[in-house]
């Protein structure tokens, strides 16, 4: 039986943009420095990338059982941004916020 306290109820969405010539390097760096630690704590993590002529946008969605669980991971307010050490080198601008959404329903399979 699934532990209901470990059911995703919250999605935390982070977005950042790089220049196209930095996108591959940022993808690798972001995975090692940002995504791997997140995988160990979140109930699930998805990463996305969209390439355009002017920029590459990255989006990370992590799933959590509660806002409090997110806050334990970040060590502060769950909506605050934790910039990686090299984000300033790679990102066009440093994101100022994350989006936090309540997960109402989930259908189908991902992953």
Closest CA to 63 of 1, 14, 2, 3: 14
- Each residue's pLDDT, cut to its tens digit, for the chain (111 residues) gives 455 567 889 999 999 999 999 999 999 999 999 999 999 999 999 999 999 999 999 999 999 999 888 888 777 777 778 899 999 999 999 999 899 999 998 888 765
Give the three-state DSSP class for 75. coil
Domain-located, residue 73: yes
Domain-located, residue 41: yes
Domain-located, residue 63: yes
Domain-located, residue 67: yes
pLDDT of residue 1: 43
Domain-located, residue 110: no
| CATH number, domain containing residue 55 | 3.30.70.100
Domain-located, residue 29: yes
Domain-located, residue 2: no
Q: How many domains, in total, are found in the chain? A: 1
Closest CA to 60 of 8, 10, 12: 12
φ, ψ dihedrals at 10, nearest 5°: -135, 140
Domain-located, residue 107: no
Which alpha helices (DSSP H) does the chain contain, by range?
23-30, 36-41, 67-74, 87-90
pTM of the entire predicted model: 0.88
Which residues form the domain of 13?
7-102
């Amino acid at each position: 039986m699934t532990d209901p306290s470990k059911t995703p109820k919250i999605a935390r969405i982070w977005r950042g943009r790089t220049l196209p010539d930095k996108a591959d390097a940022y993808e690798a760096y972001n995975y090692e420095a940002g995504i791997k630690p997140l995988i160990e704590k979140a109930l699930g993590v998805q990463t996305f990338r969209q390439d355009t002529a002017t920029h590459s946008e990255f989006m990370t969605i992590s799933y959590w059982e509660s806002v409090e669980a997110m806050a334990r991971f970040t060590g502060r307010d769950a909506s605050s941004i934790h910039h990686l050490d090299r984000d300033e080198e790679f990102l066009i601008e440093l994101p100022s916020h994350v989006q936090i959404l309540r997960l109402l329903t989930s259908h189908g399979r991902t992953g």
